[in-house]
A and B are shown apart, each in its own frame.
Chain A
Amino acid sequence: MSASHDQHHPMTLSGELRMDTGVIINKCYQCGKCSAGCPLSSEMDYPPSLVMRMLQTDDPKNYDKLLKSMTIWLCVSCEMCLTRCPMEIDIPRLMDNLRQKSVRAKKTNPQAKKIIAFHKSFLDSINYTGRLYEMGMVVDYKMRTGAMTQDVMIAPKMFVKGKLNPIPEIIKGRKKIAEIFNRVQNNKEVKL
């Protein structure tokens, strides 16, 4: 796709999403099969087919609503929508993109704080050690969310069963991983 969005052809929102993800918003004919099969749609503020409709309006107000929505954070990328979509629209890829834009625009829904905190703690752990250090990540997550008492009852049992590693596995190429984190585009939102 050529980026021919000069003043004569200003880039529409759906055009921008097409550039970023390859997804053609107008392919959606609102059958609702995605919303019907989505495991999370009952908890979402906008079920997937409604997200598609809102994007089709090309209205910045609707776009803004989506960046502030819970929907984008509740989506677990289970790919059910794409699997059954008669138009083969890659909604999960669109959701990834909306999430990234939401963080970049600092518009994340306050209620999604825990979900985002978890993702960030997860990536933090990788950034520092190269691998996920589960115990460290959980502590980091608790610091971010203040959910100090969550799951404390389960930890001792996990420890006994050998499921909690007290010492992080630090890989030799730890620095290489940190470099990757430094080199990727838009890395601000993943580094904190």
Chain B
Amino acid sequence: MQVFFTLTRRELATYFVSLTGYVIIAAATLLVGTSFVVLLRNMGNESSPMPITEIFYLTPFFWIILLLATPVITMRLFALEKYSGTYETLMTTPVSDVQVVSAKFTAAWLFYLVMWLPMLACLYVVQYYARQSGALEAGTVGGMYLGIALVGALFLSLGCLASALTSSQMVAAMVSLTLGVGLFTFAFLPERMETGTHWQAQLLAAFALFRQLHDFARGVVDTRAVIFFASLTLFFLFLTLRAVESRRWK
């Protein structure tokens, strides 16, 4: 446990001692801010029955931020250490591969959650000026952040895997972006295909990321979705672990 905390702390600190972390947060905040401006302009003056969080999820803005930010957050996790050689000093200390993977993922995830915090300010502005009393309601905000955390964990685990496979940050970012966009487009499939009762359709329906996040945004926590995200995240982290271990097979 000591190793895990030491590593997580260091990984998290690297985001904040360099400019990268602040640039990512600033970029995400800018995108969230502009998307809220666009949303509010589109809504005009009529009050909508939907909470603003739900509308936000339904727009491409959320997905753009998610798809762009996660590769940038995760690309350096393993790739930079391999490139600079510190991977060797890390792996020759008595740490286990599980500790390394879990610490790096946890640090990335915590940073990702910090990155979304400025959105609370946007919600506050909406509540204050747009007569949306529900925007900052604990249930909605909690559900929304849970959704953001879960879907983020999935995309970050993809990034971890990509970063563990290469020693080039650029390649890591490209691969995780491709995987992320792939998963994202896959989520369109159930929307486009006619619904059926056969198992293929049901399997596909599980990948409907939008629908699941929609629920979270309304403050509805569906355990199926939670398990879906958690298990996929664990699956990709498991693959990352295998990639880290693979140097022992070569």
A and B interact? no
Q: Which residue numbers of B lie inside 8 Å of A, CB to CB?
A: none
Q: Which positions in A face B, CB cutoff 8 Å?
A: none
